[in-house]
Amino acid sequence: MRFTATCVTYQTQDDVAMLGFADDEFKTSRYVLLQKDLEPSQRDLELGHDTLYIEIDDQRHSRYGGVVKAQLQESRLVLKLDPQAAADMSVDDTIEISFRVPMERLKEISNQLRLLLGNDIVQVDASI
């Protein structure tokens, strides 16, 4: 799956970190949403909801976990899903999102990705 995001948003509020990419801010048809509860409840832990939540284009294409690699470059993000996660969500196992943001925002996106996925999964281009 490939698309160009004209809207990139991220925030951490009420112990929930979020990063989203959409093809359009208001008339969205393609999007990727990454979200993680930074202080999961006991119930979240029991349900396995203490990891990254990913949603692609629709809630029908969502799940907890499944992202095995994230590569952030100056103008794109490539997410690699494990085969089972891709099958469960009925999506490709590679998601490539092109976007343009100022370098300062790119560094913030990098930090948000690391918060969501961890340093071992996120690879950031040396120029960032």
Q: How far apart are CA 17 and CA 36, in angstroms?
A: 5
Q: Where in the chain does DSSP place strands (E)?
A: 2-4, 7-13, 16-22, 31-37, 53-56, 62-64, 67-73, 76-81, 94-98, 122-124
Instruction: Please give the pLDDT value at position 83.
Output: 97
Distance separating the N- and C-terminal Cα atoms of the chain: 24
pLDDT at 37 over 90: yes
- Spatial separation of the C-alpha atoms in residues 32 and 1, rounded to whole Å: 11
Mean pLDDT (the chain, rounded): 95
Q: Does residue 24 have a pLDDT over 90?
A: yes
Of 50, 58, 63, 71, nearest to 22 (Cα)? Answer: 58
pLDDT above 90 (res 40):
no
pLDDT of residue 109: 98
Residue 34: pLDDT over 90: yes
Structure tokens that stand for 54 in this block: 């990913």
* Per-residue pLDDT, 118: 95
Mean pLDDT of 44-54: 90
pLDDT of residue 47: 87
Mean pLDDT along residues 107-124: 97
Checking if the pLDDT of 59 tops 90, the result is yes
pLDDT of 41 above 90:
no
